[in-house]
Amino acid sequence: MNKIELLAPAGSLEKLKTAILFGADAVYCGGLNFGLRAGADNFSVAELQEGIEFAHQRHKKVYMTLNMIPHNKELAQLPEYIEKIKELNLDALIISDPGVFAFVKKEMPEMEIHISTQANNVNWASALFWAEQGAERIILARELSRAEIKEIAAKTEGQVELEYFVHGAMCISYSGRCLLSNYFVGRDANKGDCAQSCRWKYHLVEEQRPGEYYPIEENDQGTFIMNSRDLNLAEEIPELIEIGLSSLKVEGRMKSVHYAATVINTYRQLIDQYYQDPENYEADSELLAELRKISHRDYTKGFYYGEPGSEGQRYQSSSYLRSYDFMGVVKDYDAAAKEVVIEVRNKIFKGDELEFVVPGQKTFTSRADYLLDEEGTEIEAAPHPKQLIRVPLENEIPSGSLLRRQKEN
């Protein structure tokens, strides 16, 4: 059995490296143009090169998004952009527009192409069409049920790979094809600049009664009528593998390093546990609980079991659930002193109970009985981002591990 790919978001070079260290088989990222995530840090050509080398040294892959739906003026910039990325040793390009697809096929005939979810891939005929044009993989729309995915997999078996989103934000529109943001604030979702207008609070106004606001539901504070919950299919891993998918994709190029590490570490361990003993596999409850320690909205199974209806939305609020703070990144371990060197991200106090997130392992907690600054002086708190400190830790852990702290009630 070929092991299914775990595909991680990489909104920056740091997130790319974090995702790979925590178990991603491949990452997807955007360049400075054509990538549908204007709010992400995105990559310069030099950063892309560094990221690709980092991944390939560890036998991992890098896919780059080229999935914007360009108007003529943007399309005019494509030839120059393609010339730049020709020099990179990318593993695949993610494309949605047929014109961009044709141009890349002509200019980069050896490049592997994955058809973006932006192309609204919801049936087997569409998948076979793209396969006949030379696409190696289809990224299926989130709006598919398991029955539909099974049928697509059965009718395309051996002809094209299939990829499916298993975790992250859902869109109120159809696979991101939305005009709300453009209408309200002039920021185009189809060019990567969505203002997430669907998360805003709305009231109803009758045409002949301007200024009279009627709550649509819930109470007189209004309601978040289009606020989708976040997708979480961690418990469905066995069936997703058995259906015949090639890749399980995590959404979140604009999310934090902590998000990337926790989600990928969790899915990596769950997938590996399944392959170790498929017949007796049961999802590890401790690992599933990890997905509630990141910043997230209430979870949903999306369209996997059919139309989600009101269960796929949260009408009371669009805010995130945050039960833990991301505190720092492990830079080194001093075995002689039994101390871990930490790059601080949020203020750490002496006596804090810190939870360590380690690649390939379950998290554990250790108390910071003392803090030392770079000169070895004991301090009561480490308040400065990027400050290097030492904290006692009995067991050695690798660089790149993260630490967090539970929020007080």
What is the rounded distance in angstroms from the CA atom of residue 231 to the CA atom of residue 228? 9
- The position carrying tokens 């696409």 is 135
Cα separation values, 167 from 124, 254, 296, Å: 23, 14, 11
Whether 368 and 290 have beta carbons less than 8 Å apart is answered as no
Which CATH code is given to the segment(s) 324-406?
2.40.30.10
Vertex 14 angle, CA 165 and 87, to 5°:
85
What is the rounded distance in angstroms from the CA atom of residue 378 to the CA atom of residue 368? 12
pLDDT of residue 190: 59
CATH 3.20.20.70: which residues of the chain? 5-170+229-307
What is the rounded distance in angstroms from the CA atom of residue 313 to the CA atom of residue 172? 9
Per-residue pLDDT tens over the stretch 256-283: 999 999 999 999 999 999 999 999 999 9
Confidence band (pLDDT; 50, 70, 90) for 36? very low
Per-residue pLDDT, averaged over 205-218, amounts to 71
* CATH class label, 5-170+229-307: alpha beta
Q: Does 8 score more than 80 pLDDT? A: yes
Widest pairwise Cα distance in the chain: 77
Vertex 41 angle, CA 37 and 47, to 5°:
115
Whether 324 and 405 have beta carbons less than 8 Å apart is answered as yes
CATH 2.40.30.10: which residues of the chain? 324-406
Give phi and psi for 106, each to the nearest 5: -75, -45
Q: Which amino acid is at 405?
A: R
Whether 365 and 395 have beta carbons less than 8 Å apart is answered as no
pTM summary value: 0.86
What is the rounded distance in angstroms from the CA atom of residue 137 to the CA atom of residue 23? 22
Per-residue pLDDT tens over the stretch 385-396: 999 999 999 999
Q: Does 337 score more than 60 pLDDT? A: yes
